[in-house]
């Protein structure tokens, strides 16, 4: 997917703006999926609201990079998410670089 994805479209007197995305992890659309994530766009920032997998696995680095590339093609400038580890919630923010992949390390 090399083309940018349009977040705002106009039809007649209406503007349609993508604000929420449901991401499904599956080899083929319509097949059973192994994970799902809910993303919310606010301006040029994307927030990963939730992530749920069949085997209760954490979001892997490869999965995060796929979400990163999707957000990059939508023209987003950053991704944020919250993690709960050992009962403590932490917020993370990753800047999106144009045409570059970040050095990201997700830890369990």
Tokens of 18: 């993508």
Note the pLDDT tens digit of each residue in 67-105. 999 999 888 999 999 988 888 999 999 999 875 665 555
What is the three-class DSSP state of 23?
Answer: strand
Cβ atoms of residues 63 and 25 within 8 Å: yes
**What pLDDT is attached to residue 1?**
43
Note the pLDDT tens digit of each residue in 6-36. 888 899 999 998 899 999 999 999 999 999 9
**What pLDDT is attached to residue 104?**
55
Q: Give bridge partners of residue 21 from the DSSP assignment.
A: 39
């Amino acid at each position: 997917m090399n083309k940018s994805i349009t977040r705002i479209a106009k039809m007649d007197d209406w503007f349609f703006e993508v604000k929420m995305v449901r991401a499904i992890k599956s080899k083929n659309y319509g097949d059973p999926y192994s994970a799902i994530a809910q993303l919310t766009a606010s301006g040029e920032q994307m927030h990963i609201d939730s992530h749920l997998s069949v085997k209760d696995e954490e979001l892997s680095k490869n999965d995060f990079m796929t979400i990163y590339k999707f957000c990059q093609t939508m023209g987003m400038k950053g991704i944020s998410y919250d993690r709960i580890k050992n009962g403590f919630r932490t917020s993370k923010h990753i800047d999106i670089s144009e045409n570059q992949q970040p050095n990201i390390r997700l830890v369990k």
